[in-house]
Amino acid sequence: MKRVAIFISGGGSNMVSLVDAMQTGEIDAEPVLVLANSADAGGLEKARARGIKTAVVDHRDYSDRASFETKISQILQDNVVNVICLAGFMRVLTAEFTAQWEGRMLNIHPSLLPKYKGLNTHQRALDAGDSEAGVSVHLVTAELDDGPILGQVAVPILDGDTADDLAARVLLEEHKLYPAVLKTFIKTL
Q: Which residues are catalytic?
A: 109
Q: Which of 4, 32, 35, 108 binds ligand GRF (CB under 6 A)?
A: 108
- DSSP-derived 3-state class of residue 170: helix
Give, to the nearest 10 degrees, the angle between helix 163-186 and helix 13-23: 30
Residue 110 touches ligand GRF, criterion: CB under 6 A:
yes
22-51 positions binding ligand GRF, by CB under 6 A? 43
Q: Which of 12, 134, 147, 179 binds ligand GRF (CB under 6 A)?
A: 12
| Rounded Cα gap, residues 66 and 11, in angstroms | 26
* Residues 138 and 148: beta-carbon distance below 8 Å: yes
159-178 positions binding ligand GRF, by CB under 6 A? 171, 174
Q: Quickly count: other Cβ atoms within 10 Å of residue 138's Cβ.
A: 22
With CA atoms as reference, report the closest residue to 107 among 8, 1, 2: 8
185 Cα distance to chain centroid: 14
Within 13 Å and on the Cβ side, how many CA atoms surround 157? 22
Residue 145 touches ligand GRF, criterion: CB under 6 A:
no
CB closer to ligand GRF, 1 vs 154: 154
Residue 147 touches ligand GRF, criterion: CB under 6 A:
no
From the list 10-18, 67-75, 97-105, 157-165, the region that binds ligand GRF by CB under 6 A is 10-18
Please tell me the count of residues contacting ligand GRF according to CB under 6 A.
14
Shortest CB 63 distance to ligand GRF, Å:
26
From the list 7-15, 93-101, 146-154, 158-166, the region that binds ligand GRF by CB under 6 A is 7-15
* Residues 5 and 84: beta-carbon distance below 8 Å: yes
Tell me whether strands 29-36 and 2-8 are parallel, antiparallel or unpaired.
Answer: parallel
From the list 4-12, 75-83, 125-133, 148-156, the region that binds ligand GRF by CB under 6 A is 4-12
Residues of this chain that interact with ligand GRF (CB under 6 A) are 8, 10-15, 43, 87-88, 108, 110, 171, 174
